[in-house]
């Protein structure tokens, strides 16, 4: 006789590798939370990061590149690059599709660049949260 | 797409508050309350600094 399959629910999920959760959280914002059964939180994170990133693109914000120069330029360029890269798949797909907005004058472009950076920074917060959940430090 | 400084600030405040609320607290009620607090503080800073600049610039 066939046994009934048990559907995983929040709180009854098999333990996942925290590194897998961290990697998935980076690649797909909110993905780690989904894998951990925190679907509502995952959806909110995904929506927030996606909206921030898309608005950044629509405002034609520039992506930062890892360029060196004086200490302030290096700090801004590398910091911005890490933040942009933290958006995961959004960043990778936009670069793959050829998005290469040059840094140019104009408040709209400037806001756009900040929204792109903010998307990545928000995702870093989500990655840390997913890590904490995966390692049992919080629910 | 062109948004005003006010519009971009409010959207930024909203998105940041959502994520801060989601990742910071332990219960849904605490998360909601913290998110609303953050949004309120963002708006207070937006209007407060806006008026401050208005008076400083004359």
Residue-wise pLDDT for B12-49, tens only, equals 999 999 999 999 988 999 999 999 999 999 999 999 99
Contacts of A108 in chain B (CB under 8 A): 1-3
Q: Residue A9 pLDDT more than 50? A: no
Which residues of B have a CB under 8 Å from any CB of A?
Answer: 1-3, 5, 8, 11-12, 15-16, 18-20, 22-23, 26
Provide the pLDDT for residue A86. Answer: 96
Task: Give A74-94 pLDDT, tens digit per residue.
Answer: 999 999 999 999 999 999 999
**Who wins on pLDDT, A101 or A79?**
A79
H or E element that contains B50: helix B28-57
Confidence class of residue A7 from pLDDT cuts 50, 70 and 90? very low
Q: How many CB atoms lie within 10 A of CB A118?
A: 23
Query: pLDDT at position A2, please?
Result: 46
Residue B11 sits at the vertex; the CA angle it makes with B5 and B13, to the nearest 5 degrees, is: 100
Q: Alpha carbon B20 to chain centroid distance?
A: 11
Answer yes or no: is pLDDT of A33 > 70: yes
Arithmetic mean of pLDDT, A22-31 = 96
**Interface residue A46 vs chain B (CB under 8 A):** no
H or E element in which residue A121 lies: helix A107-134
The predicted pLDDT at position A103 comes to 78
**A113, A103 in Cβ contact below 8 A?**
yes
Angle between helix axes B5-24 and B28-57 (nearest 10 degrees) is 150
pLDDT at A45: 97
Task: Report the percent of chain A where pLDDT is more than 70.
Answer: 90
Nearest to B15 among A41, A52, A107 (CB): A52
- Residue ranges per domain, chain A? 18-134
pTM over 0.95: no
For residue B23, give the nearest of A52, A118, A125 by CB distance: A125
CB distance from A135 to chain B under 8 Å?
no
- What's the pLDDT band for A12 if we cut at 50, 70, 90? low
Taking the domains of chain B in order of start, what are their residue ranges?
Answer: 5-57
pLDDT at A6: 42
What pLDDT shows up at residue A1? Answer: 43
Average pLDDT over residues A42-60: 96
CA distance A77 to chain B (A): 22
A87 at B interface, C-beta within 8 A: no
């Amino acid at each position: 006789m066939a046994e009934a399959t048990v559907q995983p629910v929040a709180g009854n999920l098999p333990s996942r590798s925290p590194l897998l959760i961290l990697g998935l959280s980076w690649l797909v914002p909110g993905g780690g939370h989904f894998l951990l059964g925190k679907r509502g939180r995952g959806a909110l994170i995904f929506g927030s990061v996606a909206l921030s990133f898309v608005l950044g693109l629509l405002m034609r914000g520039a992506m930062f590149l890892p360029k060196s120069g004086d200490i302030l330029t290096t700090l801004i360029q590398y910091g911005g690059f890490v933040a942009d890269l933290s958006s995961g798949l959004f960043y990778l797909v936009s670069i793959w599709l050829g998005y290469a907005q040059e840094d140019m004058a104009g408040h709209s472009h400037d806001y756009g660049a900040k929204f792109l950076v903010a998307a990545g920074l928000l995702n870093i917060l989500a990655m840390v949260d997913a890590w904490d959940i995966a390692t049992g430090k919080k629910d | 797409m062109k948004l005003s400084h006010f519009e971009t600030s409010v959207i930024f405040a909203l998105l940041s508050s959502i994520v801060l609320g989601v990742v910071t607290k332990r219960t849904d009620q605490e998360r909601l309350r913290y998110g609303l607090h953050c949004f309120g503080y963002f708006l207070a800073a937006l209007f407060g600094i806006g008026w401050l600049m208005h008076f400083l610039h004359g």
